[in-house]
Structure 1
Amino acid sequence: MAHLTPIPAEEPRPRQVISQRDARTRLAHLLARTGPADIVTVIADGDRPLAALVPVPAAQSAAEAAAAARRAEKSAAGWSARLEKLRAQLLARHAAETDELVRALADAWSELDRRSPPGRDPAVDNLRAAHRPLLRDDRHQAA
């Protein structure tokens, strides 16, 4: 294990820190106390923790917690991919609907241009100017 995994517990377990040398000389005693007393013993090299003696239930809990974290990460990645796919679909649908509306507006203005050429009716000319940015048809840009 590359790092110390936090031991999940409702209440913190009693903990002691000992040196490598003490761990070598007292290993049998430490092992005998670890399970029944529910004590975590951290073996350190100076200030740097190297390993931990933990009760079996705590070690299993840590392994279960790590497995649950991996499952959650995998699930989150799946949801993220699904959301990104939905986002792309919605953007495409929005673009298609916008194009359809712009075409309908252009058709309406084509009919208005036929019935009321630019310069004939000031109210229609004001609307034409207001809609000019929405129209992609170059005919309306020149008007």
Structure 2
Amino acid sequence: MCPNSCIAYTGPYANLHRCPKCHEHAERYETIAGKRVPRRTFDTHPLGPQAQALFASADNAERMHHRAEALKKLQDAMDAGDTPDIADDCFFGNDYLDAAGDTIKPDDLTLMFSVDGAQLYKMKQSDCWIYVWVLLDLSPKDRYKKRYVLP
């Protein structure tokens, strides 16, 4: 990655040694302890493999059925002519029920994307953004625990 974050050295830039955007004079690589290493890297955390890894544990896989169970209880209550006294999760709201319809199946994952940004300095060219994925298939008591909030 360019030290100034202009480009990542992939795709059409994979064979370059200097940034074509800012013309940074520093080489793409530096030598540390006799090893050639990139001056700057960027980590990615693909959501799919992280979510799949949760299902490797039987305990976590069981926890991931909260949404399906909550919706089943709600549907059973509505079929019986009852209305829930307490809407204790986001799935009880009309917005979710109208949007989901028959589109979201019991084995699908439902996610909430949470993002925030800040301007770091008076110069508006510098900012920072952070985001997380929250798995709504977990119960409210679990979904915000550190191990279940995905980068």
TM-score class, shorter-chain normalisation, is: under 0.3
User: Which is higher, the Rg of structure 1 or of structure 2?
Assistant: 1
Higher helix share: 1
Structure 1 length normalisation: TM-score?
Answer: 0.26
Higher strand share: 2
